[in-house]
Amino acid sequence: MSIVSVRNLRREYTQGAFTVHALRGVDLDIAAGEFTALMGPSGSGKTTLLNLIGGLDEPTAGEITVDGQDLSRMKAGDRSELRLRRLGFVFQSYNLIPVLSAVENTEFVLMLRGESAANRRQRAMETLAAVGLKGMEHRRPSELSGGQQQRVAVARAIAGEPALVLADEPTANLDSTTGHELIELMQRLNRERGLTFVFATHDPKVMEAARRVVRLEDGQIASDERKGS
Amino acid sequence: MNFGLLFTLAARGLRRNRRRSLITIAGIAFGLGLMSLSNNIGYGSHQDMVKSAVGLMAGHIVVQHADYQDEPRAERVVANSGQIASSLAAAMPEATVLRRINLEGLLLSPLSSTAVGLRAVQPEAEAMVIDLDDRIVEGEWLKADDADAIILGQLLAERLSVGLGDKVVFMSQVGDRDVDSRLFRVRGMFRTGSPEIDGMSAIVNLEPAQELLPETDPATLVAVHLPDDRQTADQTVLARQLVPDPGLAVMAWQEAIPDIVAFVELDSAYSDAMWLVLGVIVALGVVNTVLMSVMERVREFGVMMAIGMKPRQLAAMVLMEGMVLGLIGAAIGLALGTLATWPLMHYGLDLSEMYGGESIEAGGVPLSLVLYPEIDTARLVVYPFIGVLFAVLASLYPAWKVTGLQPVQAIRHQ
Ligand SMILES: Nc1ncnc2c1ncn2[C@@H]1O[C@H](COP(=O)(O)OP(=O)(O)O)[C@@H](O)[C@H]1O
Ligand SMILES: [Mg+2]
């Protein structure tokens, strides 16, 4: 069953006199439990596609269905609710709330959902342990390394048990070893918990880890390969 | 989203740029502190003024001839004043009821003469109501059984070149009666510090002055002095029932001395307006602080929106920051204002050098130039709300700006 279904998706940006075609008719289906890498050079439209799937942006044309819901028919408030309940996000960098500790960042989404204090704290601690940050729960982002910060971001994205995690170049600001470890972590979470991941990257090494690689070029899907597992 | 999370986010957000937050808090605290101090000074001097006014009038409630207020002519008296006073005293056992006569006339000594305001009183009752008996600088306060006694303002005694035991003659002409005169002996001198009062007033017993007036048992006024000004309105209603004579007017002090009420109101309104201006200036500072801290966090807000926070929750967080600033600032400001009021309550704020005199006259009432502030408890409760309200109002604009953020643009910011 598809978690994400994208049909003939277009996104144009008007900049003064001319128009940038960031996406020129993309069709894509992502099944539950898949681990998909969105590859492509800078400017190929990866971020635009992820933002549209995440309901952060609205398409110029085309349809997006996420978790059975047609995004084009939803109001901004409902999309925000969908993100809160069903999606997890990891961005390139600086995406933690600097004034909150690791565990507070992790439970933030649960707080927004209005879950009880004891429940969410326990879940956040467990999730941090699962991403390998046991003992660092009460550090602020500024007291953590870049790799550790991204692990907190992953913990925050998965703590609410989302249907889909969207990660936009999560390793771009990390050195290659740390980046690889992060990808391995996401892979493990995918395997052990059945979490669905879509992540954008233009790092060829990262690509090797993915079971499915979707290649974007100039706003169009150039190839879509699945490796046997 | 729960209040606790909003509060945590706001408090920590403010701690991030500690210096800027502290400056804003200091601004709010300083403004509110100054405002409460100045209000306490104003309140104290207004209370003082009301006290003087009530003393001057002899009470909180006054019974006069119906036309006396329009034009205070000596022959416009309250007849049978003793009876009226007794019935009021019987109905209001806690109050002091007293009678007074005010007469304009000429005071003559062997060497000189001068115009005076003669006040005839019941010495004991009067001493309970005003502090003139404590201001005797020579001789002694009136004795009820000494019908010839007169007490003079110190300056008046100097002008007449008389001392204790000397004779003076009071002359006046009331209505269409013949000019009448009465001999008194100087028994004491007082000093209030106001040249108008010390140079123009003389005090005698009620009975000798009554001889100069028409009607039986006359008095210019019968006054009721209450233990607490807050009883004035109710007791005035009662007094009106007890004194139904349409030829007499029963008034609360506010009606009898409207000048004072108007002065106090105008003075309060003026200083409130001043503080409103200051409040707006401080609020603009708060707008600036909150706006700056919001602009620095656009990216962060974008991430928060991406993970499911709604724009109005972000706005609530920004308002909460304003509220926290306001709360802390108000608490400190109020503490500062009260702390600064404290010593002044005991030692007074001496403005006499500035004005060159010990007292001034306002609305016909002598006002001491040594001001004793009083803590205005009614406002003490209101100020923190004002501080918080201004801070929250000042955060409205930044909060509104936040609701316009688009997550994608916000995340791309910088
Ligand atoms: N907000 C925007 N305004 C104008 N052009 C944009 C905007 N966002 C993206 N673009 C353009 O759209 C194209 C795709 O961008 P993006 O999705 O960020 O690519 P990628 O993430 O693959 O690097 C680029 O040419 C980029 O310049
Ligand atoms: Mg990108």
The enclosing domain of A219 has a CATH number of 3.40.50.300
Give pLDDT, residue A228: 66
Of B209, B225, B256, the residue that ends a domain is: B256
pLDDT tens for B83-110 read 999 999 999 999 999 999 999 999 999 9
pLDDT bin (cut points 50, 70, 90) of residue B1 is: low
A202 touches ligand 1 (CB under 6 Å): no
pLDDT in tens, B134-153: 889 999 999 999 999 999 99
Both B218 and B362 in a single domain?
A: no
Average pLDDT over residues A29-44: 94
Q: Which of A96, A101, A111 to mutate to test the interface with B (most CBs of B within 10 A)?
A: A111
Q: A220 pLDDT band (50/70/90 cuts)?
A: very high
DSSP 8-state class, residue A16: T
Mean pLDDT across chain B? 87
The reply to whether B250 and B208 lie within a common domain is yes
Q: Which residues of A57-90 are buried (b: 16+ CB within 10 A; e: fewer)?
A: bbbeebebbbbeeebeebeeeebbbbbbbbbbbb
| Overall number of domains in chain B | 2
Q: Is the CB of A46 under 6 A from ligand 1?
A: yes
What chain B residue is nearest to A92 in terms of C-alpha separation?
B411
CB A220 within 8 A of CB A27: no
Cross-strand bridge partners of residue B61: B224, B252
Q: Do B359 and B388 share a domain, yes or no?
A: yes
Confidence of residue B359 (pLDDT cuts 50, 70, 90): low
Domain limit, last residue, from B207, B240, B256: B256
Tell me, yes or no, whether B102 and B198 share the same domain: yes
Q: Å from A228 to nearest chain B CA?
A: 33
Range of the domain at A127: 2-226
Which of A78-92, B22-36, B159-173 is predicted with the least confidence, judged by mean pLDDT? B22-36
Q: How far is the CA of B180 from the centre of ligand 1 (A)?
A: 107
Query: What distance in angstroms lies between residue B294's CA and the mean position of ligand 1's atoms?
Result: 25
Question: Is B193 in the same domain as B116?
Answer: yes
> Mean pLDDT throughout A112-141?
92
Query: In this structure, are B291 and B251 located in the same domain?
Result: no
DSSP labels for B361-392? Answer: EETTEEEESEE-----HHHHHHHHHHHHHHHH
Domain that holds residue B84: 60-256
- pLDDT value, residue B177: 80
Q: State what percent of residues in chain B have pLDDT above 90.
A: 43
Q: B96-108 and B167-172: which strand pairing?
A: antiparallel
Q: Separation of A91 CA from ligand 2 center, angstroms?
A: 10
Copy the structure tokens of residue B36.
Answer: 């409460």
Residue B27 shares a structural domain with residue B43: yes
Asked whether residue B348 falls in the same domain as residue B285, the answer is yes
Check whether residue B267 and residue B231 sit in a common domain. no
Of A35-39, A133-137, A181-185, B377-381, the one with minimum mean pLDDT is: B377-381
- Give me A83's structure tokens: 């993100």
pLDDT of res. B278: 84
Query: What's residue B126's pLDDT?
Result: 84
Domain count, chain A: 1
User: What ipTM was reported for this prediction?
Assistant: 0.91
Q: How far apart are CA B251 and CA B236, in angstroms?
A: 7
* A69 has a pLDDT exceeding 80: yes
Asked whether residue B195 falls in the same domain as residue B285, the answer is no
Q: Please name which ligand lies nearest the alpha carbon of A216.
A: 1
- Per CB-CB distance under 8 Å, the chain A contacts of B12 are 99-100
Kindly state the average pLDDT of the residues B225-233: 86
pLDDT bracket for residue B369 (50, 70, 90):
confident
Interface mutation target, options A51, A89, A97, chain B, most CBs of B under 10 Å: A97
User: Nearest 10 degrees: CA dihedral of A185, A186, A187, A188?
Assistant: 50
The token duo for A177 is 């070893």
Q: What is the pTM of this model?
A: 0.73
Neighboring chain A residues of B313 at a CB cutoff of 8 Å: 112
- Considering B225, B256, B287, which residue would you say is the last residue of a domain? B256
pLDDT greater at residue B364 or residue B73: B73
